[in-house]
């Protein structure tokens, strides 16, 4: 699958659509339990408002820059795994929201690529993140975005507690 298949434009949005019909809920995909809670919340909001879900997964750089062949192999394997991960959550997003999600796969530092994507895609209107309920705090991305990077966001951020169940989410979306 090519990189272009993940960077889908927003061209399929009707030009005369109202603000709620154009609302795009962006979820940063990883393999944490709280991410799935955030995804379910975003899908519920999208379904109830006529919006759409976008999924972003960021491949962070590996540490094998000195061994080019090993680094290339690891990068290729990481990308293949990331594509599978995105496809798995895209299927869930489609089931939960009733529409095909927009997929983004980027390489770099997670918070940098997130900010860059939000700047590049004006249709993205809300960032939805799941907060860890463990003792380590809400998670590094939420900590960064509510701290030193808060001024770089041009959209609101919804932080969903990672311990919400399906019925909890259904009652608030």
Strand order in the sheet with 124-131: 102-107, 52-59, 24-28, 124-131, 157-161
Dig out the tokens for 171 from the structure: 């009652």
pLDDT in tens, 107-123: 999 999 999 999 999 99
Mean pLDDT of 66-81: 76
Cα radius of gyration (the chain): 16
What is the pLDDT confidence band of residue 72, given thresholds at 50, 70 and 90? confident
Which pLDDT belongs to residue 103? Answer: 97
**Closest to 27 (Cα-Cα) out of 5, 43, 11, 6:** 43
Angle, CA of 131, 137 and 142, to the nearest 5°: 50
Beta bridge partners of 53: 25
Q: What is the pTM of this model?
A: 0.83
Domain spanning 19-172, CATH class: alpha beta
pLDDT in tens, 24-61: 999 999 999 999 999 999 999 999 999 999 999 999 88
């Amino acid at each position: 699958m090519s990189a272009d298949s993940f960077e889908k434009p927003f061209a399929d949005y009707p030009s005369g659509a109202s603000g709620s019909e154009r609302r795009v809920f962006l979820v940063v995909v990883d393999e944490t339990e709280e991410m799935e809670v955030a995804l379910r919340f975003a899908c519920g909001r999208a379904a109830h408002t006529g919006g759409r879900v976008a999924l972003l997964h960021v491949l962070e750089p590996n540490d094998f820059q000195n061994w080019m062949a090993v680094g290339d192999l690891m990068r290729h394997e990481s990308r293949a795994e990331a594509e599978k991960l995105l496809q798995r959550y895209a299927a869930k997003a489609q089931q939960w929201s009733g529409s095909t999600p927009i997929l983004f796969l980027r390489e770099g530092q997670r918070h940098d690529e997130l900010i860059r994507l939000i700047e590049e895609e004006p249709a993205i209107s809300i960032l939805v993140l799941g907060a860890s309920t463990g003792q380590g705090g809400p998670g590094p991305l939420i900590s960064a975005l509510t701290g030193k990077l808060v001024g770089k966001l041009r959209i609101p951020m919804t932080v969903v507690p990672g311990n919400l169940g399906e019925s909890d989410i259904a009652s608030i979306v």
